[in-house]
Amino acid sequence: MESGIFHSTYEKDMALRHTPIEKIRLALVIALVLVFPFFADNYLLNLANTIGVVVVGAVGLNILTGFTGQISLGQGAFMAVGAYTAALLSINWGAPMWLTIPAGAISTAIIGAIFGIPSLRLKGLYLAIATLAAQEIILWVITHWDAVTGGVDALNAKNILWFGGESHYFSEFQFYWIIMGFAALTTMVTVNLFRTRIGRAFIAIRDQDIAAEVMGIDLFKYKVLAFATSSFFVGLAGALIAHWRQIVTWERFTIETSIFYLAVIIIGGLGSVSGSIYGAIFMVLLPAILNNIGRSLKGVIPAMDVLIPFIQQAVFGLVIILFLILEPEGIAKMWKNVRDYFRLWPFSY
Amino acid sequence: MDKFLQLTLTGLTSGAVYALVAVGFVLIYKSSDVINFAQGEFLLIGAYLAYFFMGQLGLHWSIGIIITIIVAAGLGVIIERLVLRPLIGEPIISVIMVTIGLSSLLKAMVGGIWGTNPQVFPAFIPKTEVHIFNAVVTADKLWAIGIALAFLLIFTLFFRYNKEGIAMRAVADDQQAALSMGISVQRIFALAWSIAAMTAAVAGVIVANVLEVSPNLSGVGLHVFPVVILGGLDSIPGALIGAAIIGLLEAYAGGYVGDGSLAQVISYVVLIIILMIRPYGLFGQEIIERV
């Protein structure tokens, strides 16, 4: 029986996990991730891979929006930069994957930093509108710069293992390990980022930018850095999509994508790395589950086939609205409440 | 010269639609500090309601338009009460996201009820050709500009002389002072949303008449951002002038530059430039906090 968590040393205070239960839970999650692909069929693997990519992108967006407080509606276009960079490098120069994926991430970080410069003058909804413009402009450039990007036509990315090699076929099972590896890496880097000076500066900017500046945080430097770090992971997600799906089209990276990722981090929990993961799982599984329910109801309601996409879209909107009204801090907070209730039971107040 | 005149008229037509949508947008922002991403969906719903009453039920156009406007106003009030009011005082991102969620929900409802195929609208404004100097335009475009101007004139008078209109300006100016003068701020919020839904619905009817009724109409909602930023987020005259400028700019860019694809993006380029040099727009209040 506990009444709270108390620390007696600085080492304990700095630890990421405080109780034995937390360590056991983490071990169980890791075990599940490792065992899962051996029992899952292709459909489930595909869903898991989607979740993995969304985790990378959502953690990236959360660094910017959740932790630094800069709203971005340009996520989709930044992802496109990563995806197109990776795809074009593999197609034009036959660059291997271990080079194209980091290249996609780094190029997106640079573009993100450039579009982060206005954030010095713009705050809140003005910044949101500026990133909306960035989204439209970047996507327009991609669809109209025919000589480089092939315009509106889709690109076929190649999964090359070594220079001069041919495109290699990866199964969903093999990609599971690549994507989960990157997702785990992203999570670990981000969790630890917020235990460093840089991460704390981001949080200080979010909480009160003027106070942060008074305390000696160079706002320009850290805001641009936040855009670059966030875009790095967003671009990473884009590059992973390029190699995993192999077909890169601009339609994957519209404003809808930006909105989807914002929804993921809001439903999961703004400013929470684990929240990004919960949000990703929830938002990827929700339409899939609705789809399956809809299909099974086809016998009862014949028009279900046509209605499914609309039901998915309506539920998407409804879930955002309900979460914002009922639990603005998202699934992360709900999960914490449940945990605290049981851990502190019967003195849970 | 013909081409110039032609493009000018086309630009003013889309400018008229932008203006109607933007006025509602500015109204909501002025009174409650909410950026409404669902403004385009209000237009979409207006267009489909008008199609439903006039095309599917076969009502006379005058009755159809009146019912459309009434239903839209009611929808605005319901949305304000159920969705926006619980979020008063929440951070900007929550308010932005809730209107984005709303836009998704409304779009899905329209799609679920009427499908995604474009519908032919029973045009009640004739599309006869009119010759102005050497340019040829269809009459409905001129009517669109006329109707928009008429509505905007009504609103200007409303804000100037009507008690409710003056109360709305008071709330926009200072909520606490307005409250202490016995103005119900909640009522004003509801009024702002219903007026925004109404003007957008009128814009929807106009677009439906000029083009067609299809789910793509909600795209106008995003095009309104350059308009309101250019004019100033809290200025109604700014919204009108911004709408005219953006409408013309898109028309000229589409007509004169290259293959015309620049028209899709030119307004966003203007948006970025304005945000960088004059974020409060041409007529907005200068209360930008510098960081």
Give the one of A121, A307, A324 whose C-beta lies nearest to B98's C-beta: A324
Q: Is residue A74 included in any domain, yes or no?
A: yes
* Mean pLDDT confidence for B161-173: 86
For residue B92, what pLDDT band results from cuts at 50, 70 and 90?
Answer: confident
8 A C-beta contact, residue B33 and residue B267 = no
Residue of chain B whose alpha carbon sits nearest to that of A315: B105
Q: Is residue A30 included in any domain, yes or no?
A: no
The mean of the pLDDT values for chain A is 89
Tell me: pLDDT of B290 over 70: no
Tell me: pLDDT of A1 over 60: no
| Helix H or strand E encompassing B129 | strand B129-132
Does the beta-carbon distance from A129 to B105 stay under 8 Å? no
**φ and ψ at residue A293, rounded to 5 degrees:** -65, -45
Residue B44 has what pLDDT?
92
Q: Is residue A199 included in any domain, yes or no?
A: yes
Residue A4 has what pLDDT?
67
Rounded CA-CA distance A91/B269 in Å is 31
For residue A161, what pLDDT band results from cuts at 50, 70 and 90?
Answer: confident
Does the beta-carbon distance from A125 to B100 stay under 8 Å? no
* Mean pLDDT confidence for B162-183: 86
Q: Which residues contact A43 (CB under 8 A, 6 or more apart)?
A: none
Rounded CA-CA distance A213/B180 in Å is 37
Residue A348 has what pLDDT?
63
Sign of CA dihedral B50, B51, B53, B54: positive
Does the beta-carbon distance from B83 to A321 stay under 8 Å? yes
3-state SS assignment for residue B243:
helix
The CATH number of the domain holding residue A83 is: 1.10.3470
Angstroms from B135 CA to nearest CA on chain A: 31
For residue A224, what pLDDT band results from cuts at 50, 70 and 90?
Answer: very high
Give the one of B92, B104, B288 whose C-beta lies nearest to A317's C-beta: B104
Chain B positions touching A266 (Cβ under 8 A) are 93-94, 97
For residue A317, what pLDDT band results from cuts at 50, 70 and 90?
Answer: very high
Does the beta-carbon distance from A317 to B271 stay under 8 Å? no
Instruction: Give pTM, 2 decimals.
Output: 0.91
Tell me: pLDDT of A230 over 70: yes
Tell me: pLDDT of A343 over 90: no
Rounded CA-CA distance A72/A197 in Å is 23
Q: Is residue A48 included in any domain, yes or no?
A: yes
Q: Is residue A10 included in any domain, yes or no?
A: no
Q: Is B181 exposed, middle or buried (0-12, 13-18, 19+ CB in 10 A)?
A: exposed
DSSP β-bridge partners for residue B130 = B137
Which segment of B49-63, B68-82, B97-111 scores lowest on mean pLDDT?
Answer: B49-63
How many A-B residue pairs are in contact by the CB < 8 A criterion? 135
Q: Is residue A8 included in any domain, yes or no?
A: no
Q: Is residue A141 included in any domain, yes or no?
A: yes
Q: What is the pLDDT of residues A65-80, one digit of tens each?
A: 999 999 899 999 999 9
Ramachandran category for residue A101: left, alpha or beta (phi over 0 → left; psi -120 to 50 → alpha): alpha
Which segment of A214-218, A278-282, B215-219 scores lowest on mean pLDDT?
Answer: B215-219
Number of domains within chain A:
1
8 A C-beta contact, residue A46 and residue A185 = no
Q: A248 — contact with chain B (CB < 8 Å)?
A: no
Residue of chain A whose alpha carbon sits nearest to that of B89: A325
Q: How far is CA B105 from the centre of its chain?
A: 19
Chain B positions touching A120 (Cβ under 8 A) are 291
Q: Peptide bond before A346: cis, by omega within 30 degrees of 0?
A: yes
Does the beta-carbon distance from A137 to B268 stay under 8 Å? yes
Tell me: pLDDT of B291 over 50: no
Q: What is the pLDDT of residues B15-35, one digit of tens each?
A: 888 888 888 888 888 888 788
Angle CA B266–B267–B273, to nearest 5: 95
A 287-346 residues inside an 8 A Cβ radius of B:
306-307, 309-314, 316-321, 324-325, 328
For residue B1, what pLDDT band results from cuts at 50, 70 and 90?
Answer: low
Rounded CA-CA distance A325/B88 in Å is 10
Tell me: pLDDT of B135 over 80: no
Q: Which residues contact A131 (CB under 8 A, 6 or more apart)?
A: A71, A72, A73, A74, A115
* Mean pLDDT confidence for A101-118: 92
Interface of B with A (CB under 8 A): 35, 83, 86-87, 90, 92-94, 96-98, 100-109, 111-112, 115, 222, 225-226, 229, 261, 264-265, 268-269, 271-272, 275-276, 279, 288-291
Picking from B46, B41, B78, B39, the residue whose alpha carbon sits closest to that of residue B65 is B46
For residue A126, what pLDDT band results from cuts at 50, 70 and 90?
Answer: confident
Residue A112 has what pLDDT?
93
Q: Which of A178-192, B80-94, B270-284 has the highest mean pLDDT?
A: A178-192
Tell me: pLDDT of B186 over 90: no
Chain A positions touching B86 (Cβ under 8 A) are 325
Q: A134 — contact with chain B (CB < 8 Å)?
A: yes
Tell me: pLDDT of B76 over 70: yes
Give the one of B87, B93, B109 whose C-beta lies nearest to A325's C-beta: B87
Tell me: pLDDT of B164 over 90: no
Tell me: pLDDT of A329 over 70: yes
Domains of chain B: 2-122+145-277 (1.10.3470)
Q: Is residue A35 included in any domain, yes or no?
A: no
Torsion of CA A67, A71, A73, A77, to 10 degrees: -50
Chain A positions touching B263 (Cβ under 8 A) are none
Rounded CA-CA distance A288/A283 in Å is 9
Rounded CA-CA distance B243/B229 in Å is 10
Chain A positions touching B92 (Cβ under 8 A) are 71, 124-125, 128
Chain A positions touching B111 (Cβ under 8 A) are 309-310, 313
Tell me: pLDDT of A88 over 60: yes
Q: Compare B167 and B281 and report the one with higher pLDDT.
A: B167
The rounded percent of chain A whose pLDDT value lies above 90 is: 59
Does the beta-carbon distance from B87 to A255 stay under 8 Å? no
Q: A133 — contact with chain B (CB < 8 Å)?
A: yes
The whole domain housing A328 covers 40-343
Does the beta-carbon distance from B104 to A328 stay under 8 Å? no
Residue A314 has what pLDDT?
94
